[in-house]
């Protein structure tokens, strides 16, 4: 009772009045605008504007010499369709994307499983694994052009020494070999990022569910395919989505390694657009090539985001 009385008296004491003074930090409406503006400007000026410009250009006869926006409708697109070089680039883009993403996911899931296990030197290995992603693409391309060089190819010499190679691989002289080289380098660049995403997803999996599978008597592969991968599906989907978009729109690897050669056989849409639009100064045509995959990518993104949402983990 005594306690309660004390509480009552404290409540009766006049409340200390705090003068309300709103500072800028309290004005969320103002802050929101101020803080969003730079990002908004960036997106509008450096992403939005070029995008709109590209769409306009693809419907025009503009060249680098004369920026006259003569409206030509779908002519740029219509001319592309029968163009064998364009068709090859389109085919290459799909091939390049599909094959490299398949390999990336395979490697990423494997690497993530290895890196999740506790072993001595795990930190070092994790760091090394992330390096390819951090290395500037031009630097990496220099190293890789040497690895695939027609005379000094490290791969060839190694195979030769091991007695596994009879003849000689002219990596950038043969369309198939060149494509293999391109996919190799791209996988090397992309898979650390995918690994990090998958690893993050694995860390987020409920520990008890994985242990339940152990106690339930499931072996490694049963746990991997029946428990871990289904639970990882949403995050793997996101990783593949990023990978597909990055790969289908990638210019750097192909351009730096082969410049679309030999005989324009390894062009992807991005390099072809660059060659036609910038180097050959046919802006309209280049824009049309670059935009060609946009609807496909939008659909891919939509489908994957839907899948990711539907297969949510937990609950």
Partner 1 sequence: MGYVETHDLHKHFGEVRAVDGVNLDVAEGELLVLLGPSGCGKTTLMRMIAGLETPTSGRIVIGGEEVDEDVPPRARGVAMVFQSYALYPHKTAFGNIAFPLEALGLPPAQIAEKVDAGARMFGIGHLLRRLPRQLSGGERQRVALARAVVRDPRVFLFDEPLSNLDAQLRAIARYELKEFQRQIGTTTIYVTHDQVEAMGLGDRIAVMDRGKVRQIGTPQEVYDYPADTFVATFLGSPPMNLVEHDSETLLGFRPEHFLPREVFPAEEPVVTFHLRVRQIEHLGADRLLYGTLEEQARRDQTVIAALPVTIRTPIQEGEVYRFAVPQRALRTFDRATGRARDGAR
| Choice between 8 and 14, CB closer to partner 1 | 8
Contact, 154 vs 146, CB < 8 A? Answer: yes
User: For tokens 């190799």, what's the residue?
Assistant: 184
Name the nearest CA neighbour of 58 among 43, 38, 78, 32: 78
By CB under 8 A, residue 65 contacts partner 1:
no
Among 89, 231, 236, 244, binds partner 1 (CB under 8 A): 231
Contact, 93 vs 102, CB < 8 A? Answer: no
Site for partner 1 in 285-314 (CB under 8 A): 311, 313-314
| Choice between 35 and 214, CB closer to partner 1 | 214
Q: Compute the least distance from the CB of residue 236 to partner 1, in Å.
A: 13
- Give, in degrees to the nearest 5, the angle at Cα 197 between 195 and 202: 90
By CB under 8 A, residue 204 contacts partner 1:
no
Among 14, 15, 84, 219, binds partner 1 (CB under 8 A): 219
By CB under 8 A, residue 7 contacts partner 1:
no
Among 135, 165, 213, 305, binds partner 1 (CB under 8 A): 213
Kindly report the backbone phi and psi dihedral angles of residue 68, in degrees, each rounded to the nearest multiple of 5, phi listed first.
-85, 130
By CB under 8 A, residue 121 contacts partner 1:
no
Among 90, 104, 187, 227, binds partner 1 (CB under 8 A): 227
Q: Environment class of residue 140 by beta-carbon count within 10 Å: exposed (0-12), middle (13-18) or buried (19+)?
A: buried
Pick the piece of the chain touching partner 1 (CB under 8 A) from 62-70, 88-96, 128-136, 207-215: 207-215
Among 7, 10, 18, 215, binds partner 1 (CB under 8 A): 215
Contact, 77 vs 288, CB < 8 A? Answer: yes
Burial 60-77 (b: 16+ CB within 10 A, else e): bbbbeeeeeeeebeebbb
**Binding residues vs partner 1 (CB under 8 A):** 1-3, 206, 208-209, 211-219, 222, 226-227, 230-231, 311, 313-315
């Amino acid at each position: 009772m005594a306690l309660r009385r004390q509480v009552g008296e404290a409540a009766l004491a006049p409340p200390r009045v705090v003068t309300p003074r709103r500072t800028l930090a309290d004005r969320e409406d103002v802050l929101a605008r101020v803080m969003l503006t730079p990002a908004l400007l960036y997106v509008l000026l450096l992403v939005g504007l070029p995008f709109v410009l590209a769409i306009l250009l693809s419907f025009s006869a503009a060249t680098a010499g004369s920026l006259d926006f003569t409206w030509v409708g779908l002519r740029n697109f219509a001319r592309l369709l029968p163009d064998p070089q364009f068709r090859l680039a389109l085919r290459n883009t799909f091939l390049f994307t599909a094959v490299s993403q398949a390999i990336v996911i395979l490697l990423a899931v494997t690497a993530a499983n290895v890196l999740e296990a506790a072993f001595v030197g795990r930190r070092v290995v994790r760091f090394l694994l992330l390096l390819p992603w951090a290395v500037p693409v031009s630097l990496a391309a220099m190293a890789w052009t040497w690895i695939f060089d027609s005379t000094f190819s490290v791969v060839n010499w190694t195979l030769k020494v091991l007695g596994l190679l009879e003849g000689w691989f002219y990596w950038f002289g043969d369309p198939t070999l060149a494509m293999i080289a391109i996919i190799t380098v791209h996988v090397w660049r992309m898979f650390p990022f995918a690994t990090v995403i998958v690893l993050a997803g694995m860390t987020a999996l409920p520990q008890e569910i994985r242990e339940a599978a152990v106690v339930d008597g499931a072996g490694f592969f049963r746990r991997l395919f029946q428990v871990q991968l289904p639970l990882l599906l949403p995050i793997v989907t996101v990783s593949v989505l990023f990978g597909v978009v990055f790969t289908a729109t990638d210019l750097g690897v192909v351009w730096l390694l082969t410049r679309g050669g030999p005989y324009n056989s390894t062009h992807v849409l991005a390099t072809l657009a660059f060659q036609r639009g910038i180097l050959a100064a046919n802006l309209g045509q280049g824009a049309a090539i670059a935009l060609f995959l946009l609807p496909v990518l939008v659909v891919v993104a939509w489908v994957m985001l839907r899948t990711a949402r539907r297969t949510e983990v937990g609950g």
